[in-house]
Amino acid sequence: MKEEETLIQRLKDGEEKAIDKLYQSYAELVYNTALSYLQSIPGAEEVTQDIFI
């Protein structure tokens, strides 16, 4: 959890590259979770995009 906390702090400090690392770490999990709930590929893609914007 320490790495995530560090990345979030870096985001708060304005370091935009930190979002890339968070995205790489969590996009697949977010997408798959959304897909399992929504049963819709476009919906899961939209949720995933909304979370990381």
Given a cut of 80, whether residue 51 has pLDDT beyond it is yes
Instruction: Show the beta-strand stretches assigned E in 1-53.
Output: none
CA distance 35 to 43: 7
Place of tokens 């929504």: 38
Count of the separate structural domains present in the chain: 1
Question: Domain containing 27: what range?
Answer: 2-52
CA distance 2 to 7: 9
With H, G, I as helix, E, B as strand and everything else as coil, classify residue 21: helix
Q: Tokens for 40, please give them.
A: 């819709």
CA distance 46 to 40: 10
Kindly report the length of the chain.
53
pLDDT-based confidence at 1, cuts 50/70/90?
low
Over residues 2-49, the pLDDT tens digits come to: 888 998 899 899 998 999 999 999 999 999 999 999 999 999 999 999
pLDDT at position 3, please? 87
pLDDT-based confidence at 53, cuts 50/70/90?
confident
pLDDT at position 47, please? 97
